[in-house]
Amino acid sequence: MTFTAAIESAAVIDAAAGRCAGCSTRESCLGGLKAAGVCGFSDSSGRSVERGQHLFRAGEAIHCVFVLRSGAIKTYVTAASGDEQILGFYSPGDVIGYDSISAGKHSRNAVALVPAEVCRIPLESLVQSCAQSADLLNRLLAGMGQEIQRLQGMLKMERLTAEQRIALFLLNQARRQGRTEGSAGGYVLQLAMTRGEIGRFLDLATETVSRTLTRLKEAGLIQIDRSGIRLLNPTALHRIVQSQPVNSVERIAA
Amino acid sequence: MTFTAAIESAAVIDAAAGRCAGCSTRESCLGGLKAAGVCGFSDSSGRSVERGQHLFRAGEAIHCVFVLRSGAIKTYVTAASGDEQILGFYSPGDVIGYDSISAGKHSRNAVALVPAEVCRIPLESLVQSCAQSADLLNRLLAGMGQEIQRLQGMLKMERLTAEQRIALFLLNQARRQGRTEGSAGGYVLQLAMTRGEIGRFLDLATETVSRTLTRLKEAGLIQIDRSGIRLLNPTALHRIVQSQPVNSVERIAA
DNA sequence: GTAGACGTTTGATCTACGTCAAAGCATCGA
DNA sequence: TCGATGCTTTGACGTAGATCAAACGTCTAC
């Protein structure tokens, strides 16, 4: 079992054959096919990434895509002016790196927001295996298609007011977290990112994020305590997203 | 030679075997492989679309991706509020429909801005052929990867000022038109879209698009005559895009 | 020609959100 | 315990671009 130079500093998690069997991300992960015996990536292996450590950086050569097993990762680019734009937050089960398949090198940076574990899937064997397995090919195309649709969704987001963006963001996070954790009931979001990072994702100033969250809190739609946001009224949040941008909370919360 | 029900109203252009041979879009088109004998799509065929006619609509089932041979096409979605958001303008050689591969149905509408000709590439045979041809698979993945990067570019665009967006839009259009027409020298853009459509693409009001164009014109960077914009000073336009947003034209044009 | 429909341009005004500033509040190491 | 550091919150103010309104091409149909 060896590592490429690019990640030689990483700690091995578990690259044994049956590894995918008990993985909670199997459904959405490309590598679940390994357990199914459909394809066996010989050097698929894991890596743990510490908080603040980069998984890859823009400009680096690409050798693999990553599947997030646990933790949280953000991808971002840095403008000439120096300020950062966050392109995506990733939760367990997400595949990171579709954008750069067959581009040769990464177009953005990826960094862990909290300690994370990822699976490496070498690009070469992934693409080669697609020739053998129609199922894998379909999963790959579906994953890339979803990434395209996610980005189209973000473009739509740019048209919304600050309040609508925040509401939509909270709902999206809840939906994604529900995928791995117990879905119904709770709706308590563990946000791994800061207000500033939410802002750099939604294209809002930190202050606007903060103000909007307090407004939603005071309207009774959410509850904010340290290291978590509870969605008290997801339906109202939905209404805010849908509503015409004519002061929402006041109209909706009633 | 038959058509699916979805496009039975369309006129046949040319579905003969050697058709790709003389096609100007061969380089960027997936179907160019047909001429190379690498793969032969049995029912790949053409269709002409009139100005204002839809190629497909959101919600419709997907049977194929399209390659634009001539003309211009826009894709858009309509918000609940009724206003339209344009997701992309397509020029000859572009592949339309990557986003919906393996999604089952279209997520957006596609309509011709001027009379257009497209090639249909049935999805099923496209995906199947990827198993046979590594080259085709790579082209497909590359195309989807580029679409992802195009969307990431649009997200970055949203951070720019109106003037920067317009400048970048003009440069992008020039680059894309240069791909098929004679590239150097001219820089005369034939814009198939209205000011309003540019605005609904860049997320700007029609008035802002108009005002910004006149400002660029008065600064001597572009020349506007009926049905065309000439880029007199692409370098200055580039500088505008790169510059910090502190009133650009005045600083740059000097 | 001329009427009508559209697109464009220009001006005046309004507003959501950014920016600047300063004061809370956690968390962590010594 | 106490700074030190970094995140969050709140307030005051400024501005880019939206919106409203109206005049001005330009193209097509008759």
Q: Tell me the C-alpha distance between A97 and A108, whole Å.
A: 9
Domain A158-253, second-level architecture = Orthogonal Bundle (1.10)
- Higher-scoring residue by pLDDT: A245, B224: B224
Q: Tell me the C-alpha distance between B141 and A128, whole Å.
A: 12
- CA-wise closest residue to B64 among B42, B86, B85: B42
- pLDDT tens per residue, range A188-208: 888 999 999 999 999 999 999
Is A16 a residue whose pLDDT tops 50? no
CA distances from B90 to A151, B74, B78 (A): 18, 6, 18
Backbone angles phi, psi at A10, to 5 degrees: -80, 150
Residue A124 structure tokens: 């070469």
* Nearest-10 crossing angle of helices A206-218, A195-202: 110
Q: Tell me the C-alpha distance between B136 and B142, whole Å.
A: 10
How is chain A split among helix, strand and coil, in percent rounded to 5?
40, 25, 35
In chain B, what are the domain boundaries? 5-154, 158-253
Ordered DSSP codes for B72-125: EEEEEEE-TTS-EEEEEEE-TT-EE-GGGTTTSB-SSEEEEEEEEEEEEEEHHH
Is B181 a residue whose pLDDT tops 80? no
Is A41 a residue whose pLDDT tops 60? no
Same topology between domain A5-154 and domain A158-253: no
Interface of A with B in 26-55 (CB under 8 A): none
Residue B235 makes CB contacts below 8 A (sequence gap 6+) with: none
- pLDDT tens per residue, range A59-71: 999 988 998 988 9
How is chain B split among helix, strand and coil, in percent rounded to 5?
40, 25, 35
Is B26 a residue whose pLDDT tops 50? yes
The pLDDT assigned to B38 comes to 47
B151 to chain A: nearest residue by CA? Answer: A151
Are B144 and A148 in contact by the 8 Å Cβ rule? The answer is yes
B129 to chain A: nearest residue by CA? Answer: A131
The pLDDT assigned to B7 comes to 34
The pLDDT assigned to B81 comes to 79
CB contact under 8 A, A144 and B149: no
Q: Tell me the nearest-neighbour CA distance from B25 into chain A, angstroms.
A: 21
Q: Tell me the C-alpha distance between A127 and A137, whole Å.
A: 8
- pLDDT tens per residue, range A156-166: 999 999 999 99
Is A134 a residue whose pLDDT tops 70? yes
The pLDDT assigned to A1 comes to 35
CA distances from B232 to B175, B185, B253 (A): 15, 10, 11
- pLDDT tens per residue, range B112-142: 999 999 988 888 888 888 888 888 898 899 9
State the DSSP code for A62. P
Q: Is A104 left (phi over 0), alpha (psi -120 to 50) or beta?
A: left
CB contact under 8 A, B99 and A145: yes
CATH of domain A5-154: 2.60.120.10
Is B8 a residue whose pLDDT tops 60? no
The pLDDT assigned to B241 comes to 94
- Tell me how many residue pairs between chain A and chain B have CB atoms under 8 A apart: 122
The rounded percent of chain B whose pLDDT value lies above 70 is: 75
pLDDT confidence band for B33 (50 / 70 / 90):
low
- Higher-scoring residue by pLDDT: A185, B51: B51
- Higher-scoring residue by pLDDT: A250, A145: A145
Closest CB to A99 among B127, B138, B149: B149
